[in-house]
C-alpha cells in the first residue's frame, strides 16, 4: 500500500502542497441481532479506500476515493490541492502545525481470538440462547440481543516521512429485556445500555461477559420494576454505578474538552463548550478527589479510544484533564495545540473511515479510581440516605455541556447504610461543575471498569466513533433527584 500512498504524495508535492498525508483504510465489520427468538439482522461488510489531506497556500484541502488505481489516486491528490487553494481564498490565517517526529511503526490491537474466525452460526447460537433465557422469565414481552465485531487496518504515510501501519480490532455485545404492563415500559440492559460493553479486544471479550449466565437476573429485574415504588424526589446523596458514570463523563467532561468545540471550529450534534480558554488551569472543575485523564495508551486498558498513533501520526498519550479537581487540559491536534500554549499535539485526531476528514475525538476519558480500598458495598454502608442508580436510560444536556439531566434504568434506595428497596424511574439533574464538586467518595481499582461507547456522533457529515470511559462507583452529595419521569 505504501506505493499507492507515494503516488498521492508525489502529485501533492508537484502541485505545490507544503504538507500532505495519505490514509489507506480497509474496514471489516460483522453485526448480528436477535429479537424475540428470531434473527433480527445479520450483516458482514467490507470497505477499502484512501484519503489525501494537504496544506497549500496555508489552507487545508481534503479528498477521498475508493478507487486505488494510479490514475484515480493521482486525481484525488490533485483535487485535494485544488480544494486547499480554493479554501485559502477565505482563510483567516495560515494553518500552523505543531512539530511531530516522523516514525515508522507497526501495531495491532492485543487480542487472543480473532473474532472473524468464529462462525456466524456460533454467534447466532449464543444470541438465541441469551434470548431464550430472557424470555423464560414471565412478564418479559420483548428481548433483544446484539453482537458486533470490527477490524480496521490503516496505512498512514506523510510528506514528513511517517510510515505507520495499524490494525485495530473491537468487539461489542449486549442485550435488553423489556416488560410492558399497563401503560408502562420497564427495561433492563446488560452489561450496559445502548449496545452493551465494547472494547478493543477479540472474541475473548464475549467469553468474559458471561452473557447467558446473567440473562435471567436481568429479565427478573425488568419485571420487578413494575412492582417497585417510584424513586423518591428531593436533594439526596446518590451513588452512580461505573457504567452510568462513564456516560456522565462522556457528556459533561469529554465533549466540552474537545478543543475544536472550544475554538468554535465545530458545533454539530453536541454544541460548543463552556470551557473557554481562560478556564484552563483556573477553573475548579470538581472536588479534590476528581482526577480525569485522556489516555490513548495501551497500558490504560483495551478502550475504544486506545491506539498506538492517531490519524496524523501522533503517538497515543495521556493528558491530565482534571487534576485534584483543577481543570488542566484539552483534547488537541497538531493544528490546535498552539492555541493553548502547547508545542505538541495531544494526539486525538481521528476519522471514522477513509472518506472522512480526521477531527478531534475523545480517546479514553477516564475518572481515576480512589486511592483508598473501598468497595461498592462499603460505600453503600457508609451512606445514610440516598439512591444507588444503575445503567443509563436517558440523558439531556445543553449545547454548552453545562446543565444536564440523566435517567437510569433501576435504583435502590439506601437507608442507614443498607439497600432498603428497589425503586423505578430514578433520575438526577445538575450543573456540571457543581456536580463534580459534590463528589466525595470513589471506589478503588477493583471496582473500576473501562466502558466502551461505540456510537459517539460528531461532525457534518456525521462521523460515528468509539470512545472509552473508565470509572468506579462514586458518591455525590446533595443532588437533585427525581422529576424526570414524574407521572410515568
Do residues 54 and 81 lie in contact, with contact meaning Cβ atoms separated by under 8 Å?
yes
H-helix segments, 351-483: 376-381, 432-437
Using CA of residue 244, residue 246, residue 247, residue 249, what is the dihedral sign?
Answer: positive
Q: What does the pLDDT average to over 196-218? A: 98
Q: Is the pLDDT of residue 484 over 70?
A: no
Distance CA 298, CA 304 (A): 11
Do residues 82 and 286 lie in contact, with contact meaning Cβ atoms separated by under 8 Å?
no
Residue 486 has a pLDDT of 53
Residue 269 has a pLDDT of 76
Do residues 308 and 106 lie in contact, with contact meaning Cβ atoms separated by under 8 Å?
no
Domain boundaries, the chain: 2-227, 229-481
State pTM to two decimals. 0.96
Q: What is the DSSP string of 173-214?
A: EEEEEEEEETTEEEEEEES-SSS-EEES--THHHHHHTHHHH
Mean per-residue pLDDT over the chain, rounded: 96
- Which DSSP state fits 472? -
pLDDT band at 385 (very low <50, low <70, confident <90, very high): very high
Residue 207 has a pLDDT of 95
Q: Is the pLDDT of residue 212 over 70?
A: yes
pLDDT of 422-471, one tens digit each?
999 999 999 999 999 999 999 999 999 999 999 999 998 899 999 999 99
Residue 35: beta bridge partners? 38, 144
pLDDT band at 268 (very low <50, low <70, confident <90, very high): confident
Residue 476 has a pLDDT of 98
Between residues 305 and 484, the one the model is more confident about: 305
Please tell me the CATH superfamily of domain 2-227, with its number.
Answer: PmbA/TldD superfamily (3.30.2290.10)
Measured from the Cβ of residue 112, the count of other Cβ atoms closer than 10 Å reads: 10
Distance CA 123, CA 138 (A): 26
Do residues 155 and 1 lie in contact, with contact meaning Cβ atoms separated by under 8 Å?
yes
Q: Is the pLDDT of residue 63 over 60?
A: yes
Residue 487 has a pLDDT of 44
Measured from the Cβ of residue 437, the count of other Cβ atoms closer than 10 Å reads: 18
CA distances from 325 to 137, 239, 287, 319, 322 (A): 45, 19, 5, 15, 6
Distance CA 225, CA 221 (A): 6
Residue 184 has a pLDDT of 93
pLDDT of 138-167, one tens digit each?
999 999 999 999 999 999 999 999 999 999
Q: What does the pLDDT average to over 115-130? A: 97
Residue 2 has a pLDDT of 84
Residue 488 has a pLDDT of 39
Amino acid at each position: 500500500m505504501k506505493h499507492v500512498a507515494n503516488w498521492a504524495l508525489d502529485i501533492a508535492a508537484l502541485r505545490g502542497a507544503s504538507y500532505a498525508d495519505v490514509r489507506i483504510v480497509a474496514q471489516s465489520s460483522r453485526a448480528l441481532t436477535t429479537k424475540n427468538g428470531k434473527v433480527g439482522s445479520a450483516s458482514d461488510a467490507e470497505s477499502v479506500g484512501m484519503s489525501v489531506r494537504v496544506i497549500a497556500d496555508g489552507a487545508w484541502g481534503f479528498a477521498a476515493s475508493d478507487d486505488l488505481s494510479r490514475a484515480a489516486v493521482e486525481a484525488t491528490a490533485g483535487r485535494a490541492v485544488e480544494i486547499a487553494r480554493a479554501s485559502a481564498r477565505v482563510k483567516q490565517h495560515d494553518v500552523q502545525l505543531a512539530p511531530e517526529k516522523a516514525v515508522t511503526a507497526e501495531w495491532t490491537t492485543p487480542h487472543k481470538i480473532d473474532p472473524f474466525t468464529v462462525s456466524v452460526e456460533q454467534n447466532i447460537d449464543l444470541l438465541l440462547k441469551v434470548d431464550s433465557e430472557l424470555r423464560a422469565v414471565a412478564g418479559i414481552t420483548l428481548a433483544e440481543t446484539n453482537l458486533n465485531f470490527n477490524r480496521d487496518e490503516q496505512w498512514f504515510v506523510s510528506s514528513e516521512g511517517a510510515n505507520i501501519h495499524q490494525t485495530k480490532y473491537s468487539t461489542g455485545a449486549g442485550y435488553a429485556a423489556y416488560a410492558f404492563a399497563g401503560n408502562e415500559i420497564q427495561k433492563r440492559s446488560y452489561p450496559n445500555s445502548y449496545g452493551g460493553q465494547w472494547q478493543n479486544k477479540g472474541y475473548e471479550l464475549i467469553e468474559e461477559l458471561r452473557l447467558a449466565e446473567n440473562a435471567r437476573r436481568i429479565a427478573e429485574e425488568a419485571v420487578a420494576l413494575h412492582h417497585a415504588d417510584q424513586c423518591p424526589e428531593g436533594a439526596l446523596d446518590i451513588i452512580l454505578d461505573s457504567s452510568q458514570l462513564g456516560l456522565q463523563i462522556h457528556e459533561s467532561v469529554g465533549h466540552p474538552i474537545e478543543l475544536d468545540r472550544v475554538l468554535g471550529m465545530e458545533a454539530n450534534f453536541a454544541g460548543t463548550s463552556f470551557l473557554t480558554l481562560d478556564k484552563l488551569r483556573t477553573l475548579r472543575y470538581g472536588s479534590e478527589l476528581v482526577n480525569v485523564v485522556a489516555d490513548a495508551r495501551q497500558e490504560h486498558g483495551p478502550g475504544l479510544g486506545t491506539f498506538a498513533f492517531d490519524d496524523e501520526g501522533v503517538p497515543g498519550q495521556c493528558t491530565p484533564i482534571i487534576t485534584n479537581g483543577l481543570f488542566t487540559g484539552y483534547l488537541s491536534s497538531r493544528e490546535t495545540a498552539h492555541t493553548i500554549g502547547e508545542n505538541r499535539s495531544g494526539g486525538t485526531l481521528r476519522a471514522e473511515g477513509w472518506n472522512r476528514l480526521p477531527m478531534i475525538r475523545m480517546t479514553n476519558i477516564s475518572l481515576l479510581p480512589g486511592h483508598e480500598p473501598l468497595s461498592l458495598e462499603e460505600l453503600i454502608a457508609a451512606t445514610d440516605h440516598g439512591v444507588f442508580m444503575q445503567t443509563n436510560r436517558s440523558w439531556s444536556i445543553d449545547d454548552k455541556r453545562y446543565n444536564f439531566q440523566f435517567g437510569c434504568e433501576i435504583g435502590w434506595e439506601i437507608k442507614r447504610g443498607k439497600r432498603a428497596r428497589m425503586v423505578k424511574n430514578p433520575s438526577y439533574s445538575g450543573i456540571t461543575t457543581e456536580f463534580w464538586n459534590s463528589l466525595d467518595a470513589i471506589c478503588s481499582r477493583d471496582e473500576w471498569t473501562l466502558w466502551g461507547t461505540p456510537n459517539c456522533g460528531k461532525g457534518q457529515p456525521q462521523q460515528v466513533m468509539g470512545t472509552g470511559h473508565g470509572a468506579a462507583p462514586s458518591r455525590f452529595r446533595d443532588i437533585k433527584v427525581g422529576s424526570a419521569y414524574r407521572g410515568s
